[in-house]
Amino acid sequence: MRVLEVWISNTIYTLIALFAFAIALYALRTLIRTELRRLRGYQKLATIFYSIAFLILGLTLLNIWGVLSLLISFAAALGIIGVIFGFAIMEVWLSNAIAGVSLIFDKLIEVGCTIKIDGTKGKIIQISLTSTRLATDDGKLMIVPNKSFRERPYLIIEFPRGEEQKTRRRR
């Protein structure tokens, strides 16, 4: 019995909200036709006003039927998950970015160098903020996170300018 009373009450509130919305929409349409028509680009402004009005109607109806609080809780949960994911990604990205800046400014390796890292030999074709791309001897592309150059030893086999062979161990 209680469910039926709530349903009837919500239906009445919904009808009242729709009636109030129809009156507000009529007033808005009249305002746009009489006052805003003189403005340049009034169509865009009218679209914005209509969108806001329908958004308010939708939120009102969701609130009447008790769905709005559920959606807010869901959005809050998604926001928390996004923040956690952001912090997790930031740690990895930030460490690679700092190592990338170091690689770019230290000039220990540069585009055109031939190196060997993790048992794979290749020529550096690009150094970006977060990764370094190598063209391997067998024609494949190897993408190395920049923090690998700080954490693992690598061998510099050949410089592009013909400098003598150099080795570099970093820990």
pLDDT of 170 over the 50 cut: no
Specify the DSSP class assigned to residue 142: E
Same domain? For 113 and 168 the reply is yes
| Residue where a domain terminates, one of 16, 36, 66 | 66
Cβ atoms within 10 A of the Cβ of 106, count? 11
Domain boundary among 49, 66, 83: 66
| CB atoms closer than 10 angstroms to residue 149 | 23
Residues 48 and 81 placed together within one structural domain of the fold: no
pLDDT value of residue 168: 46
Give dist(CA 61, CA 56) in Å, integer: 9
Tally of domains within the chain: 2
Same domain flag for 60 and 78: no
Q: Are 46 and 108 part of one and the same domain?
A: no
Give me the domain span that covers residue 44. 2-66
- pLDDT tens per residue across span 17-73: 999 999 999 998 888 888 877 777 778 888 888 999 999 999 999 889 888 888 889
Residue 113 belongs to a domain with what CATH number? 2.30.30.60
Looking at the fold, whether 38 and 111 belong to one and the same domain comes out as no
Q: Does this model's pTM top 0.95? A: no
Q: CA–CA separation, 109 vs 156, rounded Å? A: 8
Percent of the chain with pLDDT over 70: 94
Residues 42 and 92 in one domain: no
Last residue of a domain, one of 46, 66, 86: 66
Do residue 107 and residue 51 come from a single domain?
A: no
CB 44 within 8 A of CB 54: no
Q: Strands 154-158 and 141-145, how do they pair?
A: unpaired
Q: Using the Cα atoms of residue 42, residue 46, residue 48 and residue 49 in order, give the sign of their dihedral.
A: positive
